Structure 1
Amino acid sequence: MLLDQNEVAVALAKKQFIPYFQPLHDVVTGGCVGAEILARLPLPDGSVSMPSKFLPMMDTDRDLPILTRILMKEVEKWLIGMIIPDGFILTMNITPNMAGEEWLTEACNQLMACTRKRLILILELTERSPLTRNGPKWQSQLTRLMDTGILLAIDDYGTGHSGLNLLLLSGAGILKLPREFVCRLGECRVTAGITDNVVHLAERLDLKLIAEGVETEAQQGLLAAKGIRLMQGWHFSPPLSGCDFKDYLSQYI
């Protein structure tokens, strides 16, 4: 059941949202090399609410930046207590319109600093909402953000509003292959063709690819055969609480 707007507003005001870690695996080395940060909301009965239950109640420009700041602060606390390898990849979703905000650059720098710059921080620009801030000032702010060492990715590439336009304007160097494509690999000729085109685009533009929503050994094999080595999904692990992810990661250190 969806939370109502008042419940979401209270949760934001009280900073009740917590990060869950979706492990990111390199299928060539077999190791866990990073994680994507996902939002969860603890409920009074001890369960946690999924994003599908609260994100529809959030205003994109007002509430999502608040949620992102809460998550980044909480992630910083977990990273301080974790042993992470050099080059550990951490990815977080942001809206394209959020990307030019000055607070985001500061928060990213704090995350980098708390790991003594052992972190590779990737901000995933979501295509789920239209891009409205796309002028020279927005692009200049993105450039300053990337000058600090932050990388940009296009999340769920090919399923949203902006597509190639967002890739062109942002200068992102990473594409996330969405679960909508991954889940039908081997079953649908059209999906296979679309995936091949995305892989070809990445090769031509020297972009990195990350596949999400990998749920089976067969999907992993098909993606690996296309040259994709970074993957995430329930085939490897469900999203984990900070405590569980700390234990999970220790197996690969």
Structure 2
Amino acid sequence: MHDAANDPPRCLQLGSGPLQLLNQLQQDEERLAMLKEAIDLLPIAAGITISDRDGKIVYVNQAEAEMHGYACGELVGRPARVLAPEGNGPGRRINQRTAGLWKREGLNARKDGKIFPVQLTSLPIRNAGGDYLGMLTACEDMTQKKLCEQQLETLAYYDSVTKLPNRALLMDRLHQALALAQRERRELALLFLDLDNFKDLNSSRGHEVGDKFLQQVATRLAGCLCESNTLARLGGDEFVIVINPVRGEEGVAATAARLQALFAEPFLIDGEEIYGSTSIGIALFPEDGRDVESLLRSADAALYQAKSGGKAGYQFFSQEMNQVNMRRVALENGMRQGLARGEFYLYFQPQWDLKSLRLTGAEALLRWHSAEFGLVGPDEFIPIAESCGFIFDLGDLVLREACLHAVQWDAFFPGLKVAVNISGRQFRQPDFLETVACVIEETGVRPSSLELEFTESVIMERAEKNIHALQALKNMGVRLSIDDFGTGYSSLNYLKHFPIDAIKIDRSFIAELVTDSDDAAIAEAIISMAHSLKLKVIAEGVESDAQLDFLVERCCDEAQGFYFAPPMPGEDFTGYVKRFAAPDDASKPLSVAG
């Protein structure tokens, strides 16, 4: 509603003298016409309303009238509250002596009665003597912004296929549930569900059938659980259930049996009956873990045992299963020895500009070839390094080596950037900023050649504090980006304040965007939102012409993936860079970029 607040007296001053507006705001047509003309010439899209001391509208601009579905003449002379929804009451009473600048969000009503969100900024009009003459209010339609925030909220917390809570929301609820169970000294159960042979279904029937199967599974599972329980999809064919409270181990076993019984009846998809089954791993709090991480590990170990036993069964975690974790311990020890033996090295995957068709940089990817275990994938050793603190040593290695390579390439391909992933534990280190500054100085890398990538969850964990840290990095001249965008949580309110240069669309959305309308919509929304915030967009995992065409048509800025080239050792990438650094070969059609 268009009114004012009791804020410090900041106001729009009008001149004194014979043309005082105190008693002549409506009578002095010449002065009012000048004010109208000035407002109409302002290069803004906001609606403007001027009301007199009695709250009656004496002027509206065209934008304000159209926003509310009126002609300008229909509003002049009417109370300003006509723009507020019915039933809102008289609104906030204006203290004409102390009224000042007032910004707020609210709801306005169009002529047809439709309610829509607005942001209002009101400023009192006074003469030189300080007498209150009326109120000028700027109105901005927030419909699209609110819709975008709602879409990002859904994207952040809910799985796009099943509409169930995703990993981010699960972790939040699980932390809360464990805290409550600990205070009340009671048990809690965590169930890991894995759909047996789902990958075979996906490959034989296609992802569309697979998604419909997942949706029906989610519906059946949800119908079997109480409101106090949490059902979430982690991704792929994995679901997690938090049972709270627990009625003993027998009660949990009965629930697991009921869940498996749900698969006895076939799933009807596109007129065809499809059968499925699930394996379940169960961990209990506090016996099998006293924190989220240990409880998840125990449930995962139990699930592995359940699937090893022939599938379509359930298994409680037991201490004997710790043998399954022996490899984890061995890998942790092997990493420390491997670093000393030089077993860790970098691969680089090229990144291409989709507009200029030029090579722009590469992402540095850590690899480990162990003398004892052979080639160990980063998906296996990085989480171990994170949990045991070895990530700091690996992080320093990656940052330093990437910078040294960047210096080498800068000699014959100036401006080439190298992206380095920064883990949450690295970023939270008190001396992280100092470490980055030292590496830049010691290696001599051009700061603009270095891009640091952070996941959404990492920078949002302590958003207020992280803004300052990110700004400090930005002041060093380093580029910043958000990695795996769309898989975590980002608040628009914070996102617009982070001094980042780009966001990377997670490969999970790129993989199926040609055949999955939800993934396509998400990718398109991310590109549009990022560009509205003046951020570049980099797509990960591009592997086909169809994916590339989709991204080019939506004006995605850069991309990387096997379509262009697989990750390669530093020496090979040097040759790759030299190929496209040649004066007569500076840019290539993307079809031969790899």
| Farther-moved stretch of structure 1 (187-196 vs 22-31) | 22-31
**Which letter maps to 1:4?**
R
- How many angstroms does 1:156 deviate by? 0.8
Alignment-derived partner of residue 580 in structure 2:
252
**Which letter maps to 2:452?**
L
| Farther-moved stretch of structure 1 (242-251 vs 22-31) | 22-31
8 A contact 1:99–1:142 mirrored in 2: no
* Residue number among 147, 150, 160 corresponding to 2:475 in the alignment: 147
Q: In 1, Cα distance between the equivalents of 2:526 and 2:371?
A: 43
TM superposition score normalised by structure 1: 0.85
Q: In 2, Cα distance between the equivalents of 1:62 and 1:98?
A: 9
- The yes-or-no answer on 1:177 pairing with 2:499 is no
- How many angstroms does 1:243 deviate by? 1.2
**SS of match in other structure, 1:20:** strand
- How many angstroms does 1:10 deviate by? 3.6
* Residue number among 83, 89, 93 corresponding to 2:421 in the alignment: 93
Where in structure 1 do 4 or more consecutive aligned residues deviate above 6 Å?
none
TM superposition score normalised by structure 2: 0.39
Q: Which string of whole-angstrom CA distances, capped at 9 and with x for unpartnered residues, describes residues 112-164 of structure 1?
A: 7745527432111124668543444x43222211110112211111112x223
* Residue number among 121, 127, 130 corresponding to 2:450 in the alignment: 121
**Which letter maps to 1:55?**
I
Alignment-derived partner of residue 30 in structure 1:
357
* Residue number among 384, 400, 403 corresponding to 1:73 in the alignment: 400
Alignment-derived partner of residue 52 in structure 1:
379
Q: In 1, Cα distance between the equivalents of 2:376 and 2:438?
A: 29
- How many angstroms does 1:9 deviate by? 3.9
Relative to structure 1, the CA distance from residue 235 to residue 33 in structure 2 (aligned partners, 3 Å threshold; closer, same or farther) is: same
Larger RCO (CA within 8 A; separation ≥ 6): 1
Relative to structure 1, the CA distance from residue 100 to residue 29 in structure 2 (aligned partners, 3 Å threshold; closer, same or farther) is: same
- The yes-or-no answer on 1:4 pairing with 2:300 is no
**SS of match in other structure, 2:363:** strand
8 A contact 1:199–1:226 mirrored in 2: yes
- The yes-or-no answer on 1:225 pairing with 2:553 is yes
8 A contact 2:407–2:445 mirrored in 1: no
**Which letter maps to 2:356?**
T
Q: Which string of whole-angstrom CA distances, capped at 9 and with x for unpartnered residues, describes residues 166-200 of structure 1?
A: 63564323110111111112201111111111111
Q: Which runs of 5+ in 2 are unaligned?
A: 1-323, 582-594
* Residue number among 200, 208, 224 corresponding to 2:536 in the alignment: 208
- How many angstroms does 1:38 deviate by? 0.8
**Which letter maps to 1:238?**
P
| Farther-moved stretch of structure 1 (89-98 vs 33-42) | 89-98
Q: In 1, Cα distance between the equivalents of 2:408 and 2:558?
A: 25
Alignment-derived partner of residue 52 in structure 2:
none
8 A contact 1:214–1:235 mirrored in 2: yes
Relative to structure 1, the CA distance from residue 149 to residue 243 in structure 2 (aligned partners, 3 Å threshold; closer, same or farther) is: same
RMSD: 2.9
Q: In 1, Cα distance between the equivalents of 2:360 and 2:420?
A: 15
8 A contact 1:153–1:175 mirrored in 2: yes
Q: In 2, Cα distance between the equivalents of 1:107 and 1:12?
A: 22
8 A contact 2:407–2:443 mirrored in 1: yes
Relative to structure 1, the CA distance from residue 111 to residue 25 in structure 2 (aligned partners, 3 Å threshold; closer, same or farther) is: farther
Q: In 2, Cα distance between the equivalents of 1:251 and 1:237?
A: 13
Q: Which runs of 5+ in 1 are unaligned?
A: none
Q: In 2, Cα distance between the equivalents of 1:119 and 1:84?
A: 16
Q: In 1, Cα distance between the equivalents of 2:533 and 2:388?
A: 31
Q: In 2, Cα distance between the equivalents of 1:212 and 1:8?
A: 29
Q: In 1, Cα distance between the equivalents of 2:557 and 2:490?
A: 23
**SS of match in other structure, 2:360:** strand
Task: Determine what percentage of the aligned residue pairs are the same residue.
Answer: 26
* Residue number among 222, 234, 244 corresponding to 2:562 in the alignment: 234
- How many angstroms does 1:42 deviate by? 1.6
8 A contact 1:26–1:229 mirrored in 2: yes
